Amino acid sequence: MGDGRELPRFAALPVGIVVAVQAVVLTALSGRYGFHRDELYFVAAGRRPDWGYVDNPPITPWLARASTALFGETPSGLRVVATLLGMATVVVVALIAREFGGGRGVQLFTALATALSSYVLVVSHMLATNSADVLLWSLIALFGLRLLRTGDGRWWLAVGAAAGLGLANKWLVLLLLSGLGIGVAVAGPRRVLRTWWLAAGVGIAVVLAAPVLLWQAAHGWPMLTVAGGISSGDGAENRLLFVPMQLVLLSPVLAPVWVAGLVRPWREPGLRWARAPAVAYPVVCAELLVVGGKPYYSVPLLLPLVALGAEPVLRWLGRAGTLRRALTGVTAAVCVVVSVLIGLPVVPATALNGPLLAMNKEPGEQVGWPDFAGSVAGAWRRIPDAERDTAVILAGNYGEAGALERYGPEYGLPPAYSPHMSYADWGPPPDRLVGPVLLIGRIQPGSPAAHLITGCRAVAKHHNAAGVDNEEEGVPLSLCTLTRPWSVAWPQLRHYY
């Protein structure tokens, strides 16, 4: 069933050096800019531990709570866990290269390619659900490949454990499992499916994921509602950009490497057992195109393909002439610089506008949150003193609400509320708060909110000091009137996406 070859030793020293440098760089830059809007939300969710949230399972908020409890509620303290997840991902992908027979040089190349890829830089710098997801996908790939290579059914237990944790972090892992399952059914070795260890692995996954699934079922499966909103709202754009983004999300220079990984197991008889991931990737891409998923959802599956394609690419470079190797080196260096500029906060925040934000908007969402709280505080002071005790701050999205929860007390602001995502579950405001509504953002004409929150009068606009063109730049702050009690209005104000 497997290739029968003894694996090379793990290149612990060179891979360890890569991981050490990765840790130093990420830690040195972790305090630049500030919290990302999603990080503020995860910190808020971590303060309210539960088995689930409207838009994601609990692992990432739990990690946020643990990291801030241990290292402080600062961007640097929160991002310790993101750095650790990124380091672990590099090690696991290097081990995947070893599964394919890659020696010291191949493992080192794979570790460098992983650590310096744009996608891994982004999710290793800031804490996102993808930070843990890319590691869990890589672990499933490693355990699955070891199962396919050795034929030892006991590896199903490890696959099941990683899959169960994956489901407790993000349900996209189902795409990976379906892709690998179809890959094994199509390309083999199918004997690994005919063992009771498979049922045991499924059982482990179900046990680990059961609390999350039960929470979602008890709350009406809100994550499916959110996924539907993503598909209907962004589906057309996602489909249009899907293929080109596959070429650039890791790095353009790595595209030939993972393409070589797609081809290699069909050309080398000794790697026939490794054809499943080569089948899984196009299957996952097809599934995402059908549902209108975001292009980056499939990127974690490219990392095992980079590990698979590393050896033939290095062989080709070894045979190439001096000029070709030099051109390849220059191209790789340029791509690394671009990846660093895209993925890490290395330029001043004032220099973000333009190409950098066009390629990756996430750095812009890490700028200006204390300024935002200051703008809201200025608008709050426009409310007459006699009316502030019954007034409400209503944030339009979870980033705004999370920022006010984090920075509002420094400006003397009361708790803010938001009907967005899980913040809706943490509301509504008490019905005794019948005073003015300080509304952040705009109300869409014809929406339920237009009939519940009326008479809005703009009193300020938010502008961040760095002038970064992010989602909150220029957002209006208005004083409005609520026409129904909050307990009546809240279900109609709630929105998921």
Predicted TM-score (pTM) of this structure: 0.93
Angle (nearest 5°) at CA 199 between 198 and 203: 120
- Given a contact cutoff of 8 angstroms between Cβ atoms, the answer to whether 90 and 114 are in contact is yes
**Taking the mean position of all CA atoms in its chain, how far away is CA 341?**
19
What is the Cα–Cα distance from 32 to 240, expressed in whole angstroms? 33
What is the Cα–Cα distance from 12 to 221, expressed in whole angstroms? 44
How far, CA to CA in Å, does 265 sit from each of 185, 272, 275, 312? Answer: 16, 5, 5, 11
Residue 478's H or E segment, with its range, is strand 476-482
What is the Cα–Cα distance from 17 to 319, expressed in whole angstroms? 27
What is the Cα–Cα distance from 101 to 443, expressed in whole angstroms? 58
- Given a contact cutoff of 8 angstroms between Cβ atoms, the answer to whether 182 and 279 are in contact is yes
pLDDT along the chain (497 residues), means of 10: 72 96 96 95 96 95 97 96 98 97 95 95 95 97 96 96 96 94 93 94 97 95 86 79 89 92 94 95 93 90 96 88 83 88 91 88 93 96 94 96 96 96 94 95 88 94 92 95 95 90
- Given a contact cutoff of 8 angstroms between Cβ atoms, the answer to whether 285 and 258 are in contact is no
What are 53's two structure tokens?
């949230």
* Secondary structure, 3-state, 286-307: HHHHHHCCCHHHHHHHHHHHHH
Give the number of other CB atoms < 10 A from CB of residue 139.
22
User: What pLDDT, on a 0 to 100 scale, did the predictor assign at position 5?
Assistant: 64
Give the number of other CB atoms < 10 A from CB of residue 376.
26
- With a CB cutoff of 8 Å and minimum separation 6, the contacts of 341 are 347, 356
Helices (H), 126-172: 129-150, 155-167
Residue 393's H or E segment, with its range, is strand 392-394
By the 10 Å C-beta count (0-12 exposed, 13-18 middle, 19+ buried), 168 is classed as: buried
Strand partners, 456: none
Which residue has tokens 């609520």?
Answer: 482
Residue 456 — φ and ψ, nearest 5°? -70, 135
What is the Cα–Cα distance from 203 to 201, expressed in whole angstroms? 5
List the strands of the sheet with 437-440, edge to edge.
416-417, 392-394, 437-440, 476-482, 453-461
Which residue has tokens 């899959």?
Answer: 163
What is the Cα–Cα distance from 64 to 70, expressed in whole angstroms? 10
User: What pLDDT, on a 0 to 100 scale, did the predictor assign at position 1?
Assistant: 42
Strands 392-394 and 453-461, sheet pairing: unpaired
Question: What is the signed CA dihedral for 283, 216, 124, 465, rounded to 10 degrees?
Answer: 120
